[in-house]
Amino acid sequence: MKPHREKRLKPTGLLFISILAVTYSFAEGAQKPLTLREAINFALESSPLMDSAKKTRSIRDLEYKSSVAKMLPSLDFATTNGIQNYIPFSSTTTLLTPNPTDPWYSTLSLGITENLYDNGASLTNSKIADLKRRLESINYLKARDDLVLNITEEFYRYSLAIILLDVRKQQQAILDKQFKTLANQYHQGFKTKSDFLRLKTQVQQAEIDQTIAENSIALSLNELHRLVGSNLNDNVSLSFEAVPVRQDQKYIFPKTPPAFENIYDSKITKIQQNINEKSVDLVQRNYWPQALVTSGVTYENSSYINSGQPFNAGNQLSWTALLTLQYNIWDWGTRKRDLEVAEYNRDIQQDSLNQNLQDAKSKIANLMADLLRIDRNFSLGQELITLEEESHRNMETQYREGKVSYLDFITSLNDLLSARVQFYTVYFDALQNMAKYRYYEGTIYENTVEK
């Protein structure tokens, strides 16, 4: 059996036991580990952030419908029925002629009213509500894709940690075996103390590397449970299926950045700019003269209880069509200051939007630089790991034949494991950066969940 396939001796120590318990406790209660797609679907259903985004989107839809309804005719019905009477306080007061319906009082009205024109305020509010509805739809998609990206990146980090732990275990198993043999030879006087200490140092370093790898898995698991929302329910126990490495995988990395106008920050900025401008326009309408046009038709009936008359005896029908002009001549500058405040708020929000766009451009530029670096290193890493595997096989053969020393064999092993660690790191780095590219491109959900 080849040394790099030897089973590692069981580690000891409370630290390893505690980390191992945290790492695999979730898997014990889960029937089947979740794949990346299944973990994302679970998160979309259970995440508080997504629940909040859905309800906020529903609120904006309702607000838009209400803003449109305010421009339509309104039908109101009112009726008052009861007892009412007059009691004079002075004997000189002339008594009113008794009403035949006393002490009963009754009135009924049914009216249709409509604001035909209110200086454009209702129409502007409706446009703002529509823009907010569209904005919230984009915010919902952005929140969804943010969650997908965060889970995808953490899932790849978790997968890398799992694979690196396996590499560290292989290294530890071989070093343990070699150290055991060398220790016997050292105590028998066949090896020097420097050889013994050198290998012992490597064994201890390998144990540290393995502990670090185990801790990375535990931390990544905790973050995955937080992202998918399973840590809110003690009755839910989840485990995750690591993404396998395909050593012969070929990737074509994009050379051009995603269209900037299609990223979420750019879409949000355009809509928010329109909202800010219309909000200023709404305040400005209060500063200048206002024209209001209203109309209505009202049906009224009163004193129909105990009157001795038919119900329709008191019918009255009235209508109105009114034009109202109003202008504030002097208010100590209040309306002017309100307009200035609205303009300042618009400018401040624009600065914040511009800053977000600058940050997005910087992140995309860094992403394209990373993809260029990965494009160069990915194929080199594949070639390097192939060469190191072949070199290690030759070195292992020569070591078994006694042609090379154990130090040369250990050096070859370390070179092979370093090449694997380097390739695995580049491999998952490529997956993470491709996920980021699809996020900015607006296709991460389709490529990760729906494909």
Domain 14-72+120-291+331-450 has CATH 1.20.1600.10: yes
Q: Which of 186-195, 202-211, 321-330, 359-368 ranks highest by mean pLDDT?
A: 359-368
Question: pLDDT tens-digit profile of 104-125?
Answer: 888 999 999 988 888 888 999 9
Buried/exposed code over 314-349 (b: 16+ C-beta within 10 A; e: otherwise): beeeeeeeeeeeeeeeeeeeeeeeebeebeeebeeb
Q: What are phi and psi of 381, to 5 degrees?
A: -65, -40
Which stretch of DSSP H or E encloses residue 207? helix 193-228
From the CB of residue 97, how many other CB atoms can be counted at a distance below 10 Å? Answer: 6
Q: In the predicted model, what is the mean pLDDT of the chain?
A: 83
- C-alpha 126/C-alpha 154 separation (Å) is 42
Residue in 271, 318, 240, 261 with CA at minimum distance from that of residue 43: 240
Dihedral (Cα; 422, 425, 427, 431), 10-degree rounding: -160
Q: Which two structure tokens, joined as six digits, stand for 293?
A: 């046009």
- C-alpha 192/C-alpha 196 separation (Å) is 6
Question: Tokens 């060398």 belong to which residue?
Answer: 182
pTM of the model: 0.78
Asked if residue 103 has a cis previous peptide bond (ω within 30° of 0), the answer is yes
Residue in 266, 258, 224 with CA at minimum distance from that of residue 433: 258
| Residue ranges of domains in the chain | 14-72+120-291+331-450
pLDDT tops 60 at residue 102: yes
Question: pLDDT tens-digit profile of 271-295?
Answer: 999 999 999 999 998 888 889 899 9
Q: Which residues pair with 446 in a beta bridge?
A: none
The full DSSP string for 407-445 is HHHHHHHHHHHHHHHHHHHHHHHHHHHHHHHHHHHT-HH
Angle at CA of residue 69, ends 68 and 75, nearest 5°: 160
